[in-house]
A and B are shown apart, each in its own frame.
Chain A
Amino acid sequence: MEWETVIGLEVHAQLATKSKIFSGASTTFGAEPNTQACAIDLGMPGTLPVPNEQAFRYAIMFGLAIDAEIAKTSVFDRKNYFYPDLPKGYQTTQLDKPIVGPGHVEIELADGSKKSIRIHHAHLEEDAGKSLHEASFEINGHGMSGIDLNRAGTPLVEIVSEPDMSNSEEAVAFAKKLHGIVTSLGICDGEMSQGSMRFDVNISVRRPGEELGTRTETKNLNSFRFMEDAIALEVERQIDLIEDGGRVIQETRLYNGDTKQARSMRSKEEANDYRYFPCPDLLPVVFDDDYIESIRKDLPELPDTRHDRFVEQYGLSSYDANILSGDASMAQYFETAAKASGDTKLTANWMIGELSARLNAADLSIKHSPLSAEQLAGMIARITDGTISSKMAKQVFDGLWNGDGDADSIIEAKGLKQVSDSGAIEALVDEVIANSDKQVDNFRNADESKRPKMLGYFVGQIMKASKGQANPQQVNEILLKKLNDLL
């Protein structure tokens, strides 16, 4: 039986402001608990919010980047619920009049096809604090949780998509695209491991032609891989459930990246009633065209523009350009390395190949790459100038990855220098030919069309004799000449 999957995303991106959305407390990550929670963030009695202009500026930049209408008047609402990480007992957010209206982004898939994903709206809101459950605090025998409110009040832009994605590839491509946009704009640091960008995925399945199925929401996915796994898991769960005669219930689910399992969050007897209403402590926020246009004028290069430039300027394929231009740090890394190495093609290949594979395996973003763009460029330059072969470069790359120094010192230390001295190579060739009477005879007697294939043996022997350091191109040239001389 055929199934269709329908996926929508809600994305929370922490805005890279210095201070919080409604207070002058710092947003720096990783401070001692509650040292960056001021009276406003703690919801102390009598305290009042004053919004941060930069949060609006960033939200507007995002709206312009996705071709959305910017609200001339936007309004903050209170969303009421009790939770220890929510000091005021309500979250200040935007419901009816968000700052960013409908927009869209285009994603490119592995097969080269493109798809437009609609964005319903994006709004500003305050982040909550954190509950630390693992700590073994206790009062009178009752287990306690520790509350750290440093994160409370950090500005978030929540981006809500339409349910336009139909598989995990599209969802991940969309998520990566948003990541690329916000990091390119410089409005979010994109550090997913620190929770700077978090994804909630709404998933439902249906048979083709049927109405939308009941959806579930899997919350707080903070890596693309978790997102991919969580979607696969949930789609399978829903299909199994329905095929077994059950039915999907609307619920919130939590995915655990360590166990690769998801579970329903404590079932709520009744649906939440958030009792939204306009926040009386805040007035309508109004922007005029001049303000919005001045922001548009200063927008940095966006992933789509950069993609086209990469194709044009560096002669990259659309697919390669997509990979290298999507993320701002990736793009910057590429351009730095390409410029320094002088070989854009080879730089692109190494980044998309070895570097990406290593980063993925180690679950690192390019920002935290152990080898810098300059170091990679140094290695590539040595390939280009013939100092090392591509095969030897793998060892150099290992050295760079492990922090053994720059390419030249690794080449030196490991003795990886390619032998390009034609005299030395000639001697090796002569030696191998002298010790390979049988193969030389075979070569001599073979049909001319079959001879090129027979070179492999000789090259292999010569490279072995040179401990892999002979310049393969020179080996080929000299070998061919010498063998031909024997004919």
Chain B
Amino acid sequence: MNNSIMHNKTIADIIAGLDAGEFTSVEITQHYLKRIQQLDSTYNSYITINEASALAQAEAADKRRAEGNAPAFCGVPIAHKDIFCTNGVRTSCGSKMLDNFVPPYDATVVENFARAGAVILGKTNMDEFAMGSSNETSFYGPVKNPWDTNTVPGGSSGGSATAVAAHLAPGATATDTGGSIRQPAALCGITGLKPTYGRVSRWGMIAFASSLDQGGPMAHTAEDCALMLNIMAGFDPKDSTSIDRDVPDYTENLNQSLEGLKVGVPKEYFDEGLNPGTEKAVRDALAELEKQGATLVSISLPHSKLAVPAYYVIAPAEASANLSRFDGSRYGYRCEDPKDLRDMYMRTRGEGFGDEVKRRILVGAYCLSAGYYDAYYRKAQQARRLIKQDFVDAFETVDVIMGPTAPSPAFEFGAKGKDPVAMYLEDIYTIATNLAGLPGMSVPCGFVDNKPVGLQIIGNYFDESQMLNVAHQFQQTTDWHKQAPEGIEIGGAE
């Protein structure tokens, strides 16, 4: 068997290969671990590499398979975003605050993959507490985009996106609060899916903004995302916001024809802020879907402009409370020799959090403070309802909504460093779906200057199957998702 192309396999390929006995889990796990050792010093996509435990898991998986007792992901190596708590493995959330934090419990998502027999290669890099769109806010340094190491991979799940794009893992878990799965997927040329709010348990997923956060998969193909979502999705009694609703087999509808599909194309998603190259790639993708039998319907989401301002009230407000627990008392960072209680709080939080996290906590505190609550927080919540209603109305007439994932391809490090607002506009097309709680995907759909472009697909509530079907069909007639960055040897098809 040819090791040089082992990392070219999709998750579906790996499962088939393991099933057919073409290779063992130990072999493929060793292969990925070796690649990570060799290449990740360039990309910095992992914060923690689980060499020993991954091999132990792979051995156990091979044994289970030999016993004829293999669950769905038996022996499949993946990576977890370092926001998911992993029992006995440091979970930093990209922050100095949790640099020494080794939780004695697993996130439900982590538990689900463990039960499915997955092998965990390591924990991926991310913007600190998932706050960022470029991965530049990580305490562990920025992640490099494998398509151009002078550019950002997007964020906050930039580590997971890069690990997949650089073939340092066939798939990775991630989270999306305002675009943190879809935007890095777009910038790194991979496929990513943010499920409906409540579809994937948030237990053990370190909270940024509780009413917006949602875990989801990142992989090369829609099919792999479907396979991962099969493991991730489901009701969890430990999460009050988890929805008790049957989980379909997300691979079931992948092969349905798109004949008769109504695609809503919101005019607000093709405004002046959109890079012309990105627009062209997206329009071409829409044309490709038309060829497959879909009908494009021009729609309007009239309150789209409110999404970014509403988000930058609601997310920081929730974050300001969610991050209060990091106070140096019970776990994580504590400042050196505090002289009194106030000193411990002020310095622990002043030193333990990075600038962007501090900025958002302060903005959140401001929006909730006496005299400003109605003008900011309440107003943002009202805008949130208007934004949701736009989508509800649109889904009366269309099956899916499509547009660009990000306004432009990957930008250079530091390009938006001094101006938080410029960075916030990166998520201009993705934020609304989080506010509404809708599922969204990003699918590779072309290149601008050799940098990937993502097509965003927004589905109706709990209709991940339809999104995946559209994405999969698109990937049957296009090969954008099969491209690899220069320097990443992926070999030819077997």
Residues of A that sit less than 8 Å from B by CB: 39, 42-51, 78, 80, 82, 84, 87-90, 139-140, 142, 147, 273, 275-277, 280-283
B320 touches A275 (CB 8 A): yes
Shortest beta-carbon distance from A367 to chain B in Å: 36
| Inter-chain contacts of B317 with A (CB < 8 A) | 277
Complex interface residues of chain B between 359 and 405 (CB less than 8 A to chain A): 365, 368-370, 373, 377
Tell me whether B240 is interfacial, beta carbon within 8 Å: yes
Partner of B240, one of A50, A87, A140, A273: A50
* Chain A proximity of B240: nearest CB distance (Å): 5
Q: Is the CB of A42 within 8 A of B321?
A: no
Considering residues B103, B211, B321, B370, which has the most beta carbons from chain A within 10 angstroms of its beta carbon? B321
Q: For the complex, give the distance between the alpha carbons of A142 and B342 in Å.
A: 13
- Asked whether A45 and B91 contact (CB < 8 A) given A50-B238, A82-B345, A142-B340, the answer is yes
Q: Is B470 among interface residues, defined by CB-CB distance under 8 A?
A: no
B239 at the interface (CB under 8 A from A): yes
User: B330 contacts A280, CB within 8 Å?
Assistant: no
Q: A42 is contacted by which of B98, B330, B340, B370 (Cβ under 8 Å)?
A: B330
CB distance from A179 to the nearest CB of B (A): 33
In this complex, the interface size class of chain B, counting residues with CB under 8 Å from chain A, is: 35 or more
Residues facing A in B193-209 (CB within 8 A) are 202-207, 209
Given contacts A45-B101, A280-B318, contact A50 B91 (CB under 8 A): no
Which of A42, A46, A84 has most B Cβ within 10 Å? Answer: A46
Please report the C-alpha to C-alpha distance between residue A147 and residue B329 in the assembled complex, in whole angstroms: 9
CA distance A256 to B93 in the complex (A): 45
Contact A49 B324, beta carbon cutoff 8 Å? no
Contact B240 A277 (CB under 8 A): no
- Do residues A46 and B203 form an inter-chain contact, with CB atoms below 8 A? yes
Looking across the interface, which residue of chain A has its beta carbon closest to that of B203?
A: A48
Q: Is B114 an interface residue (CB 8 A)?
A: no
A/B interface sample: 10 pairs, CB < 8 A: A45-B93, A45-B326, A46-B206, A48-B238, A48-B240, A49-B240, A78-B321, A80-B368, A139-B337, A280-B211
B224 at the interface (CB under 8 A from A): no
Is A44's CB under 8 angstroms from B237's CB? Answer: no
Determine whether B465 belongs to the interface, using a CB cutoff of 8 Å to chain A.
no
Chain B positions 211 through 244: 1 when the CB is less than 8 Å from some CB of chain A, otherwise 0: 1000000000000000000000000011111000
- CB-based contact B368/A275 at 8 Å: yes
10 nearest A-B residue pairs (beta carbon): A89-B324, A275-B368, A280-B210, A280-B211, A43-B325, A46-B204, A45-B206, A46-B85, A88-B325, A46-B206
What is the bound-complex CA distance between A87 and B324, given in angstroms? 9
- Other-chain residue from B84, B237, B324, B369 in contact with A90 (beta carbon distance below 8 A): B324
Contact of B331 among A44, A50, A273, A280 (CB under 8 A): A44
Does B52 reach chain A (CB closer than 8 Å)? no
Q: Are A140 and B337 in contact (CB under 8 A)?
A: yes
User: Are B325 and A87 in contact, with the CB atoms below 8 A?
Assistant: yes
B369 engages A275 (CB within 8 Å): yes
CB of B107 within 8 A of chain A? yes
Q: Which residue of chain B lies nearest to A79 when distances are taken between CB atoms in the complex?
A: B321
Q: Which residue of chain A lies nearest to B210 when distances are taken between CB atoms in the complex?
A: A280
Residue B338, interface by CB 8 Å: yes
Complex CA–CA separation, A47 to B322 (angstroms): 11
Q: How far is the CB of B82 from chain A (nearest CB, A)?
A: 12
Contact partners of A275 in chain B: CB under 8 A? 320-321, 365, 368-370, 373
The complex places the Cα of A47 from the Cα of B85 at a distance, in Å, of 10
Q: A144–B325 Cα gap in the complex (Å)?
A: 19
The reply on B279 being an interface residue by CB < 8 A is no
A42 CA to B103 CA in the complex, in Å? 12
Chain B residue at smallest Cβ distance from A149 = B330
On B, residues with C-beta under 8 Å from A are 84-85, 91, 93, 98, 101, 103-105, 107, 202-207, 209-211, 237-241, 317-318, 320-321, 323-327, 329-331, 337-341, 345, 365, 368-370, 373, 377
B324 near A45 (CB under 8 angstroms)?
no
Give chain A's interface secondary structure class. Answer: loop
Interchain nearest-CB distance for A370 vs B (Å):
42
Establish whether residues B103 and A46, one from each chain, have CB atoms under 8 Å apart when the complex forms: yes
Residue of B nearest to A76 (CB): B240
Pair A283/B91 contact, Cβ less than 8 Å: no
Other A-B contacts than A45-B325, A140-B337, A277-B317, 5 sampled, CB-CB below 8 A, are A39-B104, A45-B331, A46-B207, A88-B321, A276-B373
* Cα distance A90–B327 in the bound complex, in angstroms: 12
Which of A80, A273, A283 interacts with B324 by CB under 8 Å? A80
Nearest chain A CB to B337's CB is how many angstroms away?
5
Q: Given the complex of chains A and B, what is the CA–CA distance between A51 and B240 in angstroms?
A: 8
Q: How far is the CB of B396 from chain A (nearest CB, A)?
A: 26
Known: A48-B240, A88-B324, A142-B340. A43 touches B330 (CB 8 A): yes
Point out the residues of chain A lying under 8 angstroms from B93, CB to CB: 45
Q: How far is the CB of A320 from chain B (nearest CB, A)?
A: 49
In contact, B373 and A273 (Cβ under 8 angstroms): no
Determine the chain B residues whose CB is within 8 A of the CB of A90 once the complex forms: 321, 324
Identify A142's interface contact among B204, B239, B320, B338, CB under 8 A. B338
**In the docked arrangement, what's the CA distance between A43 and B328, Å?**
12
Which B residues lie within 8 Å of A277 (CB)?
317-318, 321, 368, 373, 377
Q: Which of B103, B330, B377 contacts A87 (CB 8 A)?
A: B330
Rounded to whole Å, the gap between the CB of B361 and the closest CB of chain A is 11
Q: Is the CB of B324 within 8 A of A82?
A: yes
Q: Tell me the smallest distance from the CB of A197 to a CB of chain B, in Å.
A: 28
B202 contact set on A, CB distance < 8 A: 46, 48
Q: Give the Cβ gap from A139 to chain B, nearest Cβ, in Å.
A: 8
Minimum Cβ distance to chain B for residue A10 (Å): 20
Chain A residues within 8 Å of B205, by CB: 46
- A39 CA to B324 CA, complexed, in Å: 16
CA distance A280 to B208 in the complex (A): 11
Residues A45 and B237 in contact, CB atoms below 8 Å apart? no
Q: Which residues of chain A are within 8 angstroms of B331 by Cβ–Cβ distance?
A: 44-45
Contact B240–A45 (Cβ < 8 Å): no
Distance between Cα atoms of A315 and B428 in the complex (Å): 78
Chain B minimum-CB-distance residue to A85: B329
Give CA–CA (A84, B238) in the complex, Å: 25
Closest B residue to A37 by beta carbon equals B330
Of the listed residues A42, A45, A47, A283, the one surrounded by the most CB atoms of chain B closer than 10 A to its CB is A45
Please, how many angstroms separate the alpha-carbon atoms of A266 and B318 in the complex?
29
Chain B residues with Cβ under 8 A from A46's Cβ? 84-85, 103, 107, 202-207
Chain A positions within 8 Å of B326 at CB level? 45
Name the A residues within 8 Å of B324 (CB-CB): 80, 82, 88-90
| Contact yes or no, A82 B327, CB < 8 A | yes
In the assembled complex, the CB of B239 is this many whole angstroms from the nearest CB of chain A, namely 5
Q: Does B337 lie within 8 Å of A45, measured CB to CB?
A: no
How many Å lie between the Cα of A106 and that of B356 in the bound state?
A: 56
Q: Say how far A49's CB is from chain B's closest CB, in angstroms.
A: 7
Query: With contacts A46-B207, A80-B324 known, is A142 near B339, CB below 8 A?
Result: yes
Q: A283 is contacted by which of B104, B241, B318, B330 (Cβ under 8 Å)?
A: B241
User: CB-CB < 8 A to B327: which residues of A?
Assistant: 82, 84, 89
Q: In angstroms, how far is the closest chain A Cβ from the Cβ of B233?
A: 17
Q: Within the complex, what minimum Cβ distance (angstroms) separates B102 from chain A?
A: 11
Chain A residue numbers with a CB within 8 Å of B323 are: 89
Interface centre among A80, A88, A140, A275 (most CB of B within 10 A): A275
Known contacts being A45-B93, A277-B368, A277-B373, is A80 close to B240, with CB within 8 Å?
Answer: no
**B contact residues around A282 at 8 Å (CB):** 240
**A80 vs B361: C-alpha distance in the bound complex, in angstroms?**
12
Which A residues lie within 8 Å of B339 (CB)? 142
Q: Is A50 within 8 A of B103, CB to CB?
A: no
Using CB atoms, name the residue of chain A closest to B236: A48
Contact call A44/B103, Cβ cutoff below 8 A: yes
- A89 close to B105 (CB less than 8 A): no
Residue of B nearest to A275 (CB): B368
Name the residue on A nearest B339 (C-beta).
A142
Complex CA gap A58/B330 in Å reads 32
Residues of B within 8 A of A89 (CB): 321, 323-325, 327
